[in-house]
Amino acid sequence: MPSIIIDSGAAFFKQPALPEHEKEAAKRTAEGIAQAIQIMGTLAVGISPFDLTEGVEYLKQLATAKKLTPLSMNLYPNQGTDPIFRPYLVTQAGKLEIAVLGLTGNQPKNRNRHDFHVLPWQETLETVLKQVEEADMIILLSSANRRTNEEIAQKFDNIHIILQSGQHGNNLAPVNINNTLLCQTASRGKYLGLLQIDWNESKTWGEDTGDILQKEQDRLDRINWQIGRMQKRASTTELASNKQFQQLLQIKSESEQTVQMLKTNNDGRQKACIYRNSFIALETSLPEDKTIKAIVDESRREVNQIRRKAAQKRQRKQKGAISNTNRQTFPAALQQMVGWKACKECHPKQVNFYLQTNHSRAWQTLVAKNQQYNPECIACHVTLPTYDANKIQKENLLSDIPSELQGVGCETCHGPSRGHSERAETIAPTKPDQASCLRCHTEERDNNFDFSRKIKKVACPPS
Ligand code: HEC
Ligand code: HEC
Ligand code: HEC
Ligand code: HEC
């Protein structure tokens, strides 16, 4: 089956503007993504405002270096009359000529000054559509918001598909608006959107018959399988008098008619075009592509290096351990912590038990993946006085975590315990409940967390 791979945009950066110290790492990540997108055979990528985080020149260089084709009809230089990137491309898929167009959404309000601006779609789309009107199918890669895309679909009846991109998108089943399918796949590479299309000269989408047809075809397959099995077991003469078999033949013939009808749009008019949409969850259990995995690993390793160097450069005053006398150099919230080593003296049994659990190795796990400098990973693999993301960021708790707090330590479950370890009789540590586990064992990270079962694996033995 002929196919094309396209990316609707917002692929490269997660933020519209980057803090200075994150720039190098973010660019290295973008390069890895661009390379992977190219190797996957992606024909074109849309340009979202998020792809312009580092400016137009950077995106141009990235596209050239990685042989990508970014599309945007409405991204213009402040000086000059031609769009900065190609507005569209035309490609062949089987017998079909397909035009792919790019439309960039509005720039989010942003402190940076830019060397480009985004024209409203009203000023560009009509002209570009004229240039591609000969194509059999027209696809728009759009990072405009949903309302705008709906308006576009209403206004033009020759755009057949709009692939919408955005930073915080979910999977949306295609919606047919004025013969335009408005489609969106969830952001951040968690899913692959697969749209299977049976296209013909009517250029008209049938009303979601794809699903019904698929179900009917599945049913027909099952009937045929049953018939085949019966034929293997019994002779033709036996079957001729077998009621169940005769019934199956009847059902089969009806099902075949339904399939035919769905395919030809029963009233004999030209058959409508059929689509079938699915989202493929890109779970870690899926087999890895070796080439892509190598790119991902290499990118991660280099990004980790960049962050490691940045951390060293910051040359924080605090050296050494939180249990030492110089703990005042750590953020105030961390100073209530002592780390697991300080518990050894009085609770050797629990410490020994703890060291057998994977919580004690959670930091090593990140190191093994070259991710111990990634702010997106650290919080759940270390011991903190709070897991409130805002507080963590505000108090800068994650940069230079002292070594005794690396890993999911005692104080994750029992609360900050400096006070207790200095005056055990006065301050009792807390005990963990389900909610305290769910801060890290989120649906996304651990989709079958069962408290009563899992607590048994990590609850310390009595003294
Ligand atoms: C100087 C000794 C000492 C140190 C150090 C110490 N504890 Fe304790 N801890 C005690 C005593 C004493 C008790 C109360 C008696 C008992 O249950 O063993 C206790 C009780 C506990 C309890 C049970 C509380 C309860 O309500 O039953 C927990 C949990 C605990 N400690 C955790 C820790 C952690 C975590 C650390 C290290 C950060 C630590 N302790 C360090 C002496 C200490
Ligand atoms: C700070 C985040 C965090 C909290 C809070 C947390 N966990 Fe974990 N947990 C982890 C991480 C990370 C791992 C994986 C460690 C690894 O393999 O590197 C893990 C692993 C586990 C495992 C597998 C351990 C093993 O030895 O195989 C169990 C069971 C578990 N957690 C239960 C719990 C329970 C029960 C709670 C609440 C009482 C809890 N966790 C609280 C982060 C957390
Ligand atoms: C929201 C908290 C959270 C964040 C953020 C997080 N992890 Fe984890 N991680 C966990 C928990 C919980 C487990 C244990 C899951 C289980 O027991 O099934 C875990 C387990 C792991 C494991 C070991 C199990 C496995 O799947 O192989 C690895 C590796 C890992 N995490 C890497 C990472 C990396 C890399 C990042 C950043 C990109 C990250 N984690 C961010 C909570 C988190
Ligand atoms: C994943 C969570 C978790 C971690 C990490 C953890 N504990 Fe515990 N701990 C528990 C639970 C659960 C209990 C049992 C509480 C109860 O009695 O219901 C417990 C009980 C205890 C007790 C009381 C035992 C008794 O006599 O009843 C002590 C002391 C203790 N832990 C110390 C520690 C120390 C020290 C560490 C680190 C080396 C540690 N814990 C790490 C969850 C944890």
The pLDDT tens digits of the residues spanning 317-337 come to 545 667 666 777 788 889 899
- 79 falls within a domain: yes
The whole-number pLDDT of residue 449 equals 93
Does 267 score more than 60 pLDDT? no
Regarding whether 353 and 385 lie in a shared domain, the answer is: yes
Total Cβ atoms within 10 A of residue 358: 12
Regarding whether 52 and 189 lie in a shared domain, the answer is: yes
Q: What is the mean pLDDT of residues 395-403?
A: 84
Ligand 1 proximity of 343 Cβ (cutoff 6 Å): yes
Regarding whether 437 and 325 lie in a shared domain, the answer is: yes
Which amino acid would we find at residue 339? G
The whole-number pLDDT of residue 320 equals 62
- 301 falls within a domain: no
Regarding whether 358 and 224 lie in a shared domain, the answer is: no
Measured CA to CA, the distance from residue 194 to residue 183 in angstroms comes to 10
The whole-number pLDDT of residue 383 equals 96
* DSSP H or E run through 25: helix 23-39
- 288 falls within a domain: no
Ligand 4 proximity of 359 Cβ (cutoff 6 Å): yes
Nearest ligand to the CA of 407 is 2
Distance (angstroms) between ligand 2 centre and the Cα of 402 equals 20
Regarding whether 446 and 323 lie in a shared domain, the answer is: yes
Q: What is the mean pLDDT of residues 262-281?
A: 73
Can you tell me which atom of ligand 2 is nearest the CA of 387? 1
The residue segments making up the domain with residue 231 are: 211-264
The whole-number pLDDT of residue 110 equals 55
Q: What is the pLDDT of residues 20-69, one digit of tens each?
A: 888 999 999 999 999 999 999 999 999 998 899 898 999 999 999 999 99
pLDDT band at 411 (very low <50, low <70, confident <90, very high): very high
Measured CA to CA, the distance from residue 434 to residue 422 in angstroms comes to 28
**12: CATH:** 3.60.21.10
Regarding whether 155 and 42 lie in a shared domain, the answer is: yes
Nearest ligand to the CA of 433 is 2
The closest alpha carbon to 71, from 174, 167, 143, belongs to 143
Residue to mutate (ligand 4; options 356, 361, 382, 414; most atoms within 8 A of CB) = 414
Distance (angstroms) between ligand 4 centre and the Cα of 350 equals 7
pLDDT band at 274 (very low <50, low <70, confident <90, very high): confident
Q: What is the mean pLDDT of residues 229-254?
A: 91
Total Cβ atoms within 10 A of residue 427: 14
Regarding whether 242 and 168 lie in a shared domain, the answer is: no
Ligand 1 proximity of 27 Cβ (cutoff 6 Å): no
Q: Is 232 exposed, middle or buried (0-12, 13-18, 19+ CB in 10 A)?
A: exposed
Q: What is the pLDDT of residues 359-373, one digit of tens each?
A: 999 999 999 999 998
Which residue's CA is the closest to the ligand 1 atom numbered 5?
Answer: 421
**Do 248 and 227 form a contact (C-beta atoms < 8 A)?**
yes
Regarding whether 124 and 25 lie in a shared domain, the answer is: yes
Distance (angstroms) between ligand 3 centre and the Cα of 236 equals 60
- 303 falls within a domain: no
Ligand 2 proximity of 23 Cβ (cutoff 6 Å): no
Cα distances (angstroms) measured from residue 166 to each of 15, 76, 280: 11, 21, 18
Q: What is the pLDDT of residues 56-80, one digit of tens each?
A: 999 999 999 999 999 999 999 988 8
Weakest-pLDDT range from 260-264, 282-286, 289-293, 317-321: 317-321
Half-sphere exposure of 97 (CA within 13 A, CB side): 8
Regarding whether 199 and 59 lie in a shared domain, the answer is: yes
Does 346 score more than 80 pLDDT? yes
Ligand 4 proximity of 383 Cβ (cutoff 6 Å): no
Regarding whether 322 and 446 lie in a shared domain, the answer is: yes
Total structural domains in the chain?
A: 3
The whole-number pLDDT of residue 92 equals 95
Tokens representing 450 are: 């069962």
Which residue's CA is the closest to the ligand 1 atom numbered 17?
Answer: 463
Regarding whether 277 and 359 lie in a shared domain, the answer is: no
Regarding whether 175 and 45 lie in a shared domain, the answer is: yes
Q: What is the pLDDT of residues 180-239, one digit of tens each?
A: 999 999 877 788 889 999 888 888 887 655 567 778 888 999 999 999 999 988 888 889
Ligand 1 proximity of 428 Cβ (cutoff 6 Å): yes
- 20 falls within a domain: yes
DSSP secondary structure, 260-282, as one string = HHHHHTTTTSPPPBEEEEEEEE-
Q: Angle at the Cα of 150 (from 148 to 152), degrees rounded to 5? A: 70
**393: CATH:** 1.10.1130.10
**What is the sign of the dihedral through the CA atoms of 440, 442, 447 and 450?**
positive
Q: What is the mean pLDDT of the chain?
A: 89
The whole-number pLDDT of residue 211 equals 66
Measured CA to CA, the distance from residue 438 to residue 450 in angstroms comes to 10
The whole-number pLDDT of residue 260 equals 84
The whole-number pLDDT of residue 268 equals 46
Ligand 1 proximity of 359 Cβ (cutoff 6 Å): no
Domain end position, chosen among 239, 264, 289: 264
The whole-number pLDDT of residue 316 equals 56
Give the start-end residues of each E strand in 356-454.
none
The whole-number pLDDT of residue 111 equals 47
- 297 falls within a domain: no
Can you tell me which atom of ligand 3 is nearest the CA of 440? 2
Residue with tokens 């050494």: 320
**Do 171 and 185 form a contact (C-beta atoms < 8 A)?**
yes
Residue to mutate (ligand 4; options 413, 440, 451; most atoms within 8 A of CB) = 413
Weakest-pLDDT range from 80-94, 256-270, 432-446: 256-270
Residue with tokens 């749009």: 265
